Amino acid sequence: GAVVSQHPSRVICKSGTSVKIECRSLDFQATTMFWYRQFPKQSLMLMATSNEGSKATYEQGVEKDKFLINHASLTLSTLTVTSAHPEDSSFYICSARKTGGTKNIQYFGAGTRLSVL
């Protein structure tokens, strides 16, 4: 199988601090990883596509300076929420696409629940 590890699973921080979330593909290489945000009872909203070795592609309305993405290796992408505010409180989920094969299935991390006080 393909496993994606996301850490931390839960973080509570004060307003104004920065929070880093890690997404690792444990047993496969992922040239592309995705970062989603999900509000309660709503669907996943794609924030950005992270490509190894290049700049991330952000969806419309997502502030790149607010949500910093780094994809320095084929197994690790990080999302840093800078100067977090209460409205950034949400469930953040990463996924990694296992290239090759016919399906190009995305495998999801367990998610990070961010609460900004």
Partner 1 sequence: GQNIDQPTEMTATEGAIVQINCTYQTSGFNGLFWYQQHAGEAPTFLSYNVLDGLEEKGRFSSFLSRSKGYSYLLLKELQMKDSASYLCAVRDRLKRFGAGTRLTVKP
Q: 61 and 54 in contact (C-beta within 8 Å)?
A: no
Interface with partner 1, residue 113, by CB under 8 A? yes
Should residue 14 be labelled a site residue for partner 1 when binding is judged by CB under 8 A? no
Residue 42 found at the interface with partner 1 (CB under 8 A): yes
Residue 111 in the binding site for partner 1 (CB under 8 A): yes
Question: In this structure, are residues 7 and 114 in contact, taking their beta carbons and an 8 Å threshold?
Answer: no
Which stretch, 43-51, 60-68, 71-79, 80-88, contacts partner 1 (CB under 8 A)?
A: 43-51
Q: Which of 5, 49, 82, 89 binds partner 1 (CB under 8 A)?
A: 49
Residue type, 40: P
Pairing of strands 76-81, 67-73: antiparallel
Q: What residue type is assigned to position 89 of the chain?
A: S
Cβ nearer to partner 1, comparing 53 with 101 = 101
58-97: which residues touch partner 1 (CB under 8 A)? 91, 93, 95
Which residue(s) pair with 20 in the sheet? 80
